[in-house]
């Protein structure tokens, strides 16, 4: 999918601002990439720098050493930071399990081991696994375990919500946009693909299917273009209105 004519025209009109926007004037910086770079700069300049670096490494010849990991890091950071830059909201994704785990430990240490002769020795002191297929636990312990499980699930729930809100805000052209779970999952799938490359796994760049890697990066850019497109529609409309207003004044 290509950026529409309005976005392309706006990007071309911005060519005088290329140095300020941090967009390298190389041949592979086509209008689509210029548009993405300008949009990212408007949202958060540091993300535009990461995108520029990623493109430079993807296209550089001879190959930039370690590019599979560096590009993956850039994609991960853009994917993680872009929602807050677009929605202007903060999202707490990290699970806070300390208190909930302490509650479970307190209840767990008071549970007698099934079949113990004295019926009252805590499991933690026995150090043995119950031989029965089922054991009974108190409602308090069950509730504490349930709370911990939900706390572990919370980061993924928050993560999906922030991506959904990012897409809704970025693609909203004045009418509330319904974003399906499938669209959110598509963004997650595209960005998560790079996670396996974000840390050193002992494999050099030569072992990477670079054609497939570049294809995945192209999908990531397509996703960015779909988010940036409404921005350029709005920007161009505003500029046209200002030109008309100035013409009337003159």
Is the distance from CB of 232 to CB of 6 less than 8 angstroms? yes
Q: Is residue 142 part of a domain?
A: no
Q: Is residue 146 part of a domain?
A: no
Domain that holds residue 235: 5-91+159-249
Could you tell me which residue, 22 or 192, shows the higher pLDDT? 192
With CA atoms as reference, report the closest residue to 28 among 19, 20, 37, 41: 37
Query: Which are the contacts of 243, defined by CB distance < 8 A and separation ≥ 6?
Result: none
Confidence tier at 139 by pLDDT (50, 70, 90) = confident
d(CA 9, CA 236): 8
What DSSP designation does 48 have? Answer: H
Q: Is residue 118 part of a domain?
A: no
Q: Is residue 149 part of a domain?
A: no
122, β-bridge pairs: 112
Q: Is residue 169 part of a domain?
A: yes
With CA atoms as reference, report the closest residue to 71 among 218, 183, 223: 218
- The predicted-structure confidence for 151-176, as pLDDT tens digits, reads as follows 666 777 888 888 999 988 888 744 56
pLDDT at 232 over 90: no
- Looking at residue 142, its pLDDT comes to 78
- Looking at residue 239, its pLDDT comes to 53
| Omega before residue 62 within 30° of 0, cis | yes
Q: What mean pLDDT, rounded, does the chain reach?
A: 77
- Looking at residue 43, its pLDDT comes to 95
- Split into its structural domains, the chain has a count of 1
- Looking at residue 74, its pLDDT comes to 97
The per-type count for the chain, helices as H runs and strands as E runs, is 10, 0
d(CA 121, CA 110): 8
Confidence tier at 149 by pLDDT (50, 70, 90) = confident
Q: Is residue 137 part of a domain?
A: no
For the chain, the first-to-last Cα distance in angstroms comes to 40
- Looking at residue 53, its pLDDT comes to 95
- Looking at residue 179, its pLDDT comes to 78
- Looking at residue 13, its pLDDT comes to 44
Q: Which two tokens stand for residue 204?
A: 């050099």
Q: Is residue 221 part of a domain?
A: yes
- Looking at residue 71, its pLDDT comes to 97
List the single range of 40-49, 71-80, 171-180 with lowest mean pLDDT. 171-180
- The predicted-structure confidence for 92-101, as pLDDT tens digits, reads as follows 767 677 777 8
Q: Is residue 218 part of a domain?
A: yes
d(CA 20, CA 165): 29
Could you tell me which residue, 11 or 70, shows the higher pLDDT? 70
List the single range of 15-24, 38-47, 48-57 with lowest mean pLDDT. 15-24
With CA atoms as reference, report the closest residue to 82 among 24, 21, 169, 154: 169
pLDDT at 73 over 90: yes
Could you tell me the CA-to-CA distances from 180 to 64, 124, 165, 204 in Å, in that order? Answer: 38, 47, 11, 38
b/e per residue 180-197 (b: at least 16 CB within 10 A):
eeebbebbeebbebbeeb
pLDDT at 77 over 90: yes
d(CA 129, CA 17): 68
């Amino acid at each position: 999918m290509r950026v529409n004519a309005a976005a392309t025209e706006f990007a071309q009109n911005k060519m005088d601002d290329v140095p300020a926007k941090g967009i390298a004037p190389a041949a592979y910086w086509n209008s689509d990439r210029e548009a993405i770079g300008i949009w990212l700069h408007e949202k958060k300049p540091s993300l535009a720098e990461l995108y520029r670096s990623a493109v430079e490494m993807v296209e550089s010849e001879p190959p930039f050493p370690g590019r599979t990991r560096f590009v993956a890091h850039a994609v991960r950071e853009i994917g993680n930071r872009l929602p807050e830059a677009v929605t202007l909201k903060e999202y707490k994704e990290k699970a806070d399990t300390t208190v909930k785990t302490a509650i479970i430990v307190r209840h767990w240490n008071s549970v007698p081991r099934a079949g113990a002769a004295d019926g009252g020795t805590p499991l933690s002191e026995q150090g043995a696994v119950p031989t029965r297929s089922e054991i009974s636990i108190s409602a308090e312990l069950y509730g504490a375990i349930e709370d911990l499980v939900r706390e572990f699930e919370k980061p993924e729930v928050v993560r999906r919500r922030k991506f959904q809100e990012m897409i809704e805000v970025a693609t909203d052209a004045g009418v509330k946009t319904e974003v399906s779970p499938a669209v959110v999952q598509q963004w997650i799938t595209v960005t998560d693909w790079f996670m396996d490359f974000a840390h050193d796994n002992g494999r050099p760049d030569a072992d990477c299917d670079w054609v497939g890697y570049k294809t995945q990066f192209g999908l990531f850019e397509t996703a960015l273009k779909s988010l940036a497109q409404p921005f350029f529609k709005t920007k161009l409309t505003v500029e046209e209105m200002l030109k008309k207003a100035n013409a009337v004044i003159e």
